[in-house]
Structure 1
Amino acid sequence: MKFLIEITHPAHVHFFRNPIEWLAESGHQVKVTSRDKDCTLVLLDELDIPHQCLSVHSGGGSLAMARELLLRNRALANVVREFLPDVMAGVGGTSAAQVGWYLGCPTVVFYNTERAHIQNFLTYPFADRIIVPDAYRGWVPKRKGCRYLGYHELARLHPSRFQPDVSVAIANGLDPEGDTFLIRVVSWNASHDIGLKGWSIDTLKRVVGILRQHGRVLISAEEKLPEELEELAYAGSPDALHHVMGHCRLVVGESATMASEAVVMGVPAVYAAPSFRGYIEQQQERFGLAWHVDRPNPDSISSAILNALETDPRELERRHQRLLEECVDVARMAYDELLYAAGAWGSGTDSTARKG
């Protein structure tokens, strides 16, 4: 069988890296189409995953994003006509769904962001199968949606296939003696960020000041930091960041993805942003490993940080183990769903996710 995988964001590399490997090992042909955004291409190259870049991140703004979508759809359609995949898949998957619908190629979309109203409106009606986490609280068309208990970030970071290496972490900025704290600030120019804005510089500086009282601070930023904070910028390898994160005391920031990455590794996280994510709420309410600050300011973020730091590490470990016991193996689920999609139109693999 032939599978075409759309990878348009660094997190998608981690989501699909194992299914891509397993498909290839099983004798299937896999074509990866990529997008030049942040470190996406660097990660694919570091992992020796062959890919064809079809577009460059527009930089934000409705018109720029619309133009990129049109250009990407045209480029992807040309690839599909040449490669002739049996199934296409993507996270978010707008181009995959639209081009797949137009050219008659079945499409599987994995997604977890309720707030991406415009993107989902442009995607879900054209997809054949939409796989979302159990915690997802957004709209999914009837008879297309399937759910599972788990998180995208487990696809890469499940302990059965990833263990953070302390030596790699130290080589990439982890304090070898004391606690390390990772702050993540984002650019807020994705389609699901329209109408939202991030931390002020003052908020960032004050959060840095709070965390510096407890240990070393590293900042992972999508945009250039103020000159007085540049010395704190994460300077390690993109692929080593999870090794660093896995040995941090706490992760704080505006990225729901990075907060969830920390949580599935057992590192508590403060997600300080106005954008709702069902999976963060579940990680907070069901497992007690995340703290969501939906009206971020220095005082509210500081309170959440102190709550996280005051939680007994042994209790955090118990909560993490319960999360791992209750959640599915997401990488294996994604692999099974791709085979099921191919089987639904000709083979015969059971679905891991349930309908609903």
Structure 2
Amino acid sequence: MRIMLDIGHPKDVNVFKNVILSLQEMGHTVKIFVRAKESTKRMLDDAGFEYEVCPYYKSMAGKAFGILANDLRLYMIARKFKPDVFVSPGSPYSAHVSSLMRKPHLAFSDTEIAGLVTMLTLPFTDKIYTSTSFYLDLGPKQERFKGYYELAYLHPKYFKPNKSVLDKYGLEEGYILLRLSALSSHHDLHASGFDFETEDELRDYISSLEKYGRVIISSEKLDWDTIKEYQLDLDPDDLHDIINYASICLSEGATMASEAAVLGIPSIYVSNTERGYLNELETEYDLVYNIPDRGEALEKTISFLQNKNTKDEWQSKKVVMLNHNIDVCNFIIDRIINIDKRGL
């Protein structure tokens, strides 16, 4: 089978990495089409994957123009590759081109607030797969599964923590991880997070946390010296090990908040936006807290850091969560390779 995989976000590389490797071992051919985002390309390079690049547009106007430009770019590549199926996390480009080429498109999506992208994608998609936690009903094309996309790469079957990364970055286990997001994706149009208006506000926040341990920052923004001071020059391959050995993660990015949660690390998502998987990880497993106010998030963080049993409690809750969910990687592979049996 010839599979055209369209990805754009670093998380997509993580979700599909084991899928690609398994498909290749089974004799299938996978062609990757990726947005020219440096972190995403670097992750693909580190994994040893070849790929075709299309432009990455940061502004909303650029993203609108990019639909036509990237549709054309993908169409030219796909005509030469001749795929049997298009696969994406919910990309309008592959949905449009698959329709033009009269080939099936499978979308594996987890972001409810990506309304515009869903509107541009769903009419041209044959099937869209979402977690049971996904709070939108997308109609007859939607199929739900019990699991989270983070488990495609962070389930213990696939992720083995490497404690040597602590020495690599001069760290000791139990630091406080603060994630700052650029909030520049299409679905972040009205999103807010920590909303530090001045560098002094950020520094005061860090000072409150430092009473309970070392603070390190993971940030998409480097506009303040304070961020540079606390930021690690991090190899993307080490990110999940860094999350795994934190005492807690405060994040205005949904991806890192959910990654920490499925690793059994206390996680607080500081944002005014919702994700179904984060809601379920809170209400069903108590692994993450969705708190839009940074002051309230700070109070909750301190309460966890003062509790000596927090780490053991979260690891126990992680085991319950893992026992309740499927092998998501195998699910994705099954839906791709058995597409003919499903009559798509």
Tell me if 1:157 matches 2:132.
no
- Residue in 2 that maps onto 1:91: 89
Alignment of 1:33-52 (within 5 A): 33-52=33-52
Paired letter, 2:151: L
Q: Classify 1:75/1:196 alpha carbon distance in 2 versus 1 (closer, same or farther; 3 Å).
A: same
Q: Structure 1 length as normaliser, TM-score?
A: 0.91
CA offsets 1:78-103 (integer angstroms, 9 cap, x no match): 11111111111111222111111122
Q: Structure 2 length as normaliser, TM-score?
A: 0.94
- Residue in 1 that maps onto 2:110: 112
Aligned length: 339
- Residue in 1 that maps onto 2:169: 172
Paired letter, 1:153: E
| In structure 2, C-alpha distance between the alignment counterparts of 1:207 and 1:38, rounded to whole Å | 30
CA offsets 1:215-258 (integer angstroms, 9 cap, x no match): 12111111214113311112120111111111111111111111
Q: Classify 1:246/1:343 alpha carbon distance in 2 versus 1 (closer, same or farther; 3 Å).
A: same
Paired letter, 1:223: K
Q: Classify 1:172/1:340 alpha carbon distance in 2 versus 1 (closer, same or farther; 3 Å).
A: farther
Tell me if 1:204 matches 2:208.
no
- Residue in 1 that maps onto 2:58: 59
Paired letter, 2:221: E
1:280 to 274, 278, 281: 278
Q: Secondary structure of 1:249's partner?
A: strand
RMSD over aligned CA atoms reads 1.6
Alignment of 1:72-83 (within 5 A): 72-83=70-81
Q: Deviation at 1:307? A: 3.9
Tell me if 1:301 matches 2:300.
no
| In structure 2, C-alpha distance between the alignment counterparts of 1:6 and 1:215, rounded to whole Å | 41
Q: Classify 1:33/1:189 alpha carbon distance in 2 versus 1 (closer, same or farther; 3 Å).
A: same
CA contact under 8 A between 1:2 and 1:85: conserved in structure 2? yes
CA contact under 8 A between 2:203 and 2:226: conserved in structure 1? no
Q: Deviation at 1:332? A: 1.1
Paired letter, 1:308: F
Q: Classify 1:36/1:279 alpha carbon distance in 2 versus 1 (closer, same or farther; 3 Å).
A: same
Q: Secondary structure of 1:39's partner?
A: helix
Q: Classify 1:324/1:331 alpha carbon distance in 2 versus 1 (closer, same or farther; 3 Å).
A: same
Q: Classify 1:172/1:6 alpha carbon distance in 2 versus 1 (closer, same or farther; 3 Å).
A: farther
Q: Deviation at 1:198? A: 3.6
| In structure 2, C-alpha distance between the alignment counterparts of 1:125 and 1:161, rounded to whole Å | 34
Gaps of 5+ in 2: none
Paired letter, 2:299: S
CA contact under 8 A between 2:219 and 2:227: conserved in structure 1? no
CA contact under 8 A between 1:169 and 1:240: conserved in structure 2? no
Alignment of 1:137-286 (within 5 A): 137-140=135-138, 142-173=139-170, 175-176=171-172, 179-201=174-196, 202=198, 203-286=201-284
Q: Secondary structure of 2:55's partner?
A: strand
Q: Classify 1:317/1:65 alpha carbon distance in 2 versus 1 (closer, same or farther; 3 Å).
A: same
1:328 to 326, 333, 338: 326
Paired letter, 2:243: M
CA contact under 8 A between 2:209 and 2:302: conserved in structure 1? no
| In structure 2, C-alpha distance between the alignment counterparts of 1:338 and 1:162, rounded to whole Å | 23
Q: Classify 1:2/1:345 alpha carbon distance in 2 versus 1 (closer, same or farther; 3 Å).
A: farther
CA contact under 8 A between 1:293 and 1:304: conserved in structure 2? no
Paired letter, 1:120: T
CA contact under 8 A between 1:134 and 1:147: conserved in structure 2? yes
Q: Secondary structure of 1:251's partner?
A: strand
Gaps of 5+ in 1: 347-356
CA contact under 8 A between 1:38 and 1:222: conserved in structure 2? no
| In structure 2, C-alpha distance between the alignment counterparts of 1:267 and 1:260, rounded to whole Å | 10
| In structure 2, C-alpha distance between the alignment counterparts of 1:21 and 1:302, rounded to whole Å | 41
Paired letter, 2:59: G
| In structure 2, C-alpha distance between the alignment counterparts of 1:207 and 1:215, rounded to whole Å | 13
Tell me if 1:20 matches 2:16.
no
| In structure 2, C-alpha distance between the alignment counterparts of 1:330 and 1:308, rounded to whole Å | 30
CA contact under 8 A between 1:98 and 1:126: conserved in structure 2? yes
| In structure 2, C-alpha distance between the alignment counterparts of 1:94 and 1:206, rounded to whole Å | 42
CA offsets 1:92-145 (integer angstroms, 9 cap, x no match): 2221111111221100001111111111111111110100011001231x2211
CA contact under 8 A between 1:169 and 1:241: conserved in structure 2? no
| In structure 2, C-alpha distance between the alignment counterparts of 1:307 and 1:92, rounded to whole Å | 38
CA contact under 8 A between 1:130 and 1:145: conserved in structure 2? yes
CA offsets 1:194-228 (integer angstroms, 9 cap, x no match): 12234333553333222211112111111214113
Q: Deviation at 1:305? A: 1.0
Paired letter, 2:26: S
Q: Deviation at 1:6? A: 0.8
Q: Deviation at 1:342? A: 4.4
